[in-house]
Chains A and B, each alone.
Chain A
Amino acid sequence: MLQSLIQNVWVPMRPYYTQVYQEIWVGMGLMGSIIYKIRAADKRSKASKASSPAPAHGHH
Chain B
Amino acid sequence: MNENLFTSFTTPTMMGLPIVVLIIMFPSILFPSPSRLINNRLVSLQQWLVQLTSKQMLAIHSHKGQTWALMLMSLILFIGSTNLLGLLPHSFTPTTQLSMNLGMAIPLWAGTVVTGFRYKTKASLAHFLPQGTPIPLIPMLVIIETISLFIQPVALAVRLTANITAGHLFMHLIGGAALALTNISASIALITFIILILLTILEFTVALIQAYVFTLLVSLYLHDNT
Enumerate chain A interface residues (CB-CB to B < 8 A). 16, 20-21, 23-24, 26-28, 30-31, 34
Contact = CB atoms under 8 A, between A and B. Distances in A.
A33 B114 CA distance: 16
Interface string B92-132: 00000000001100111111101100100000000000000
Interface stretch (B66-74, B192-200, B207-215): B66-74
A30 B110 contact: yes
Contact of A27 (B68, B70, B107): B107
Contact of B112 (A16, A20, A23, A30): A23
A23 B70 contact: no
B71 A27 contact: no
Residues of B contacting A: mostly = helix
Contacts, number: 37
Residues of A contacting B: mostly = helix
Interface of B: 67-68, 70-71, 102-103, 106-112, 114-115, 118
B130 to A, nearest CB: 25
Contacts of A34: 106
Contacts of A28: 107
Given A23-B114, A26-B114, A31 B70 contact: no
A23 B220 CA distance: 12
Contacts of B103: 31
Contacts of A31: 102-103, 106-107, 110
Contact of A21 (B102, B106, B111, B118): B111
Nearest to A34: B106
A44 B111 CA distance: 31
